[in-house]
Amino acid sequence: MYVSVTFLGLQRAQARADKIRIPLSKDTRVVDLLAYIKASYPELPFPENGLFVAVNNKISSLDRILENKDNVTFLPFLGGG
């Protein structure tokens, strides 16, 4: 089983990749994937509050169980006024 992780904005620049594939085991949740990404790429910005996650281009919760070939994007916070 694997999932793809798409990087956007500053994440993309710091990871030096648009997308990576990560092998995962059954019953892996988005929050588990996030912990793996944080450990593997400690320089990437992931805000503690206001983190949005999309799985297959739809907003998702951190508790969602990932399926084979899902595409996960951790959406960077965009501010404005």
Q: Is residue 51 included in any domain, yes or no? A: yes
- Tell me, what's the pLDDT at 19? 94
Distances (CA, A) of 79 to 14, 50, 54, 76: 20, 11, 18, 10
The angle at the Cα of 39, spanning 34 to 45, to the nearest 5 degrees, equals 65
Q: What is the pLDDT of residue 54?
A: 96
Domain count, the chain: 1
For residue 47, tell me if it sits in a domain: yes
Tell me, yes or no, whether 32 lies in a domain.
Answer: yes
81 within domain boundaries: no
Residue 78's pLDDT band, with cuts at 50, 70 and 90, is low
Q: Provide the domain limits for residue 44.
A: 2-75
The string of pLDDT tens digits covering residues 31-73 is: 999 999 989 988 887 777 777 899 999 999 999 999 999 999 9
CATH of the domain at 65: 3.10.20.30
pTM score, whole prediction: 0.86
Confidence grade of residue 81 (pLDDT, cut at 50, 70, 90): low
Give the burial class of 66: count Cβ atoms within 10 A of its Cβ; 0-12 exposed, 13-18 middle, 19 or more buried. Answer: buried
Residue 80 lies in a domain: no
In a domain, 43, yes or no: yes
